[in-house]
Amino acid sequence: MKTFTIYLRYWSIRLSYLLLASLLIFGSYFYTVPQVEIGNYILSNPFFSDSEHISSWLYDVDYFIFIFTVAIVIIFVLIIYYNINKIRKEKTDKQFLNLFVKKLFDYLFMVEEFTDDQKKERLKSLKKALNTDHAKRLFINTLVDVHSQTEGIVKEKTFRLLKAIKFDYLIYAYLHSPYFRHKLFALKVISEFNLEGYDKYILKLTKRRNSVLHAEAIIALLKLKVYSNLLFLTDLKMKLTLWDINLIIKTIQELNKKDINYSVLIQSVIPEISALGLILARLHKRTELKTEVIMRIGNSSKLVNEEAFLTFISFASQQSDFDYLIEKFSIATHKAQLMIIQSLSMSPDNVKTIQFLNWIVENKHFTHKTEAIRQLLELDLSAISRFKQSEDKLIRQSCLQVLDINL
């Protein structure tokens, strides 16, 4: 019933806009004719006699004055409605601060437990006070905040109180509501309290085009731990943004989630999903996936290519790994190339490393030269002396910059 009420309000507002626009269009025509026949009905125009002898431009002015007058009346009514609604919400906010919060925290943090009769009485008065959606949202938001910041008995009490007030119908209605703000509210509550029975619909929300909504739906599914291996991400039709990827990674780290199918994510044809798999493999040090990572190096997607390089760099431990990085250096992104240069300090073969770093200083860009010289400062001081006297101005500047920093 609550869902039906929300949809009724949603569509009634839009239909009223459509009706108003239709009336304006129809009125501009009806005002110029003496009557209009609709089937067997005839609508007479009472204003036609006044306007039939005036010029067309005066008719337009006359009609727009009428529209302007109607608009003023509508705006005046809306202002009154807005003010009444604002006063009502302010009253609810004040009541909430003075009554609900105090009683809520008395219940959550008191040492002695209430008797069953006391619990029933307080719960009855609480439900009576929560008589509007605004009051219910305030109360539930408070429960969410307390639940997210507490542990132990207080956390359990918060969850029990949410179940006791039986607002499941409100959460369900808001999750299925056409308003995005309602859906976001429901997702926040469901994910925080791990409410069951909503995961299938939330999975559908991950495929919505609204970037905020589908991102929150993904986070909610991660927190619910229903699709723990993250394979649901491979079915997404929406392109993940860098913000989405960072948010997903942050959530996975907070949940300490390790039961992830890294291989499937890395091999995904969706670049953002593949990049996410590579990042997670790197963060969780899944070195056994080195072969899968190599397969993504040189990928046509710059994002995938860069993350593949960064992941392989973090896995590099043997000389063959560093040899491979040197071999593929030319197809790495700028950031990955700098990371490769830095990683060579861990290479077992100093001769190959010094030779490659010298080549970087002599042939690459200023930032590469500077990073290579910084590594050579630890490996080959004779090279530093030679570069200080180089005829190449950029090499001399790179050398001086590194030496100044280290001084």
Residue-wise pLDDT for 176-219, tens only, equals 999 989 999 999 999 999 898 898 899 888 888 888 888 889 88
Q: Of 344, 274, 341, 273, nearest to 308 (Cα)? A: 274
Is residue 336's pLDDT more than 60? yes
pLDDT at 322: 94
Token readout for 340 is 């490769």
Q: Which of 24-38, 166-180, 196-210, 368-382 has the lowest mean pLDDT?
A: 24-38
Q: Which residues contact 237 (CB under 8 A, 6 or more apart)?
A: 207
- What are the tens digits of pLDDT across the range 356-365? 998 998 888 8
pLDDT at 407: 42
d(CA 77, CA 171): 32
Greatest mean pLDDT among 73-87, 98-112, 133-147, 261-275 lies in 261-275
Question: Nearest CA to 370 among 356, 360, 355, 382?
Answer: 360
Residue 308 has pLDDT above 90, yes or no: yes
pLDDT range class, residue 277, cuts 50, 70, 90: very high
Task: Dig out the tokens for 167 from the structure.
Answer: 């607002």
Mean pLDDT within 262-288: 92
What is the pLDDT, as a whole number, of residue 110? 67
Residue with the larger pLDDT of the pair 92 and 68: 68
What integer pLDDT is reported at residue 147 of this predicted model?
87
pLDDT for 347 beyond 60? yes
* Most confident by average pLDDT, 55-59, 113-117, 343-347: 343-347
The pair of three-digit structure tokens given for residue 162, joined into one six-digit string? 């949410």
Quote the CA–CA distance of 308 and 296 in Å, as a whole number. Answer: 6
How many DSSP H helices and E strands does the chain contain?
22, 2
> Over 60: is that where the pLDDT of 52 sits?
no
Average confidence (pLDDT) over 21-32: 71
Global pTM reads 0.76
Residue 53 has a pLDDT of: 60
pLDDT confidence of 342, banded at 50, 70, 90?
very high
DSSP single-letter state for residue 96 = I
Say yes or no to pLDDT of 51 above 70.
no
**Average model confidence (pLDDT) across the chain:** 83
d(CA 228, CA 326): 37
Kind and range of the H or E run holding 76: helix 56-95
pLDDT of residue 330: 93
**pLDDT of 281:** 94
- Highest-confidence segment of 190-204, 218-232, 237-251, 330-344: 330-344
pLDDT, greater one: 253 or 236: 253
For residues 123-149, average pLDDT? 81
Q: What angle do CA 109, 115, 118 make, to 5 degrees?
A: 85
Rounded to an integer, the average pLDDT of 40-45 is 73
Q: Judging by beta carbons within 10 Å of its beta carbon (0-12, 13-18, 19+), is residue 58 exposed, middle or buried?
A: exposed
pLDDT at 50: 56
